[in-house]
Every structure is written in structure tokens, then in C-alpha cells.
Amino acid sequence: MKTWVLNEFLYFPEDKSEYLPAAIELAIILVLCVAVFFTVKKMAKKQELKTKMLEEEILQNRQQDAKQNQSN
């Protein structure tokens, strides 16, 4: 019974040209995945820089507030 079920999924065509559409689709999906990966990586880098700038601005404001509080 188990071999019959597995045989339905294991289909190896005699005409190997049937593999071509699957290979093309795999290549397209792979290229799209790589493009999305690098796009997300680039966006994350931009967000990291914005966060760093915001953090530096907040630290400068805290230092200025601390100096003002000390002088008062």
C-alpha cells in the first residue's frame, strides 16, 4: 500500500523536455528570492542608519538637558 502511494508522487518522464518548464520556473523564483533578499537587506541598512542618527540626536538632547539642569 505504501509503495503505491509513493509511486504516484515519483513520476520520472521519459521525455526529458518536461523538466525544462520546471527548471525555468525554479530559476525565475530563485532570482526573485535573491532580489527580495537584497532589497530587504538594503532597506534594513537604511533603517539602521536612521535609527543610529535618531539615537545620537536623543543622546545629544539628553546631554544638553543635563548641562542645563546642572547650571540651574
Domain boundaries, the chain: 24-72
pLDDT tens for the 72 residues of the chain, in order: 556 566 667 777 788 888 899 899 999 999 999 999 999 999 999 999 999 999 999 999 999 998 888 886
Amino acid at 47: Q
C-alpha cell recorded at residue 59:
543622546
Which string of DSSP letters, residue by residue, matches 19-39?
HHHHHHHHHHHHHHHHHHHHH
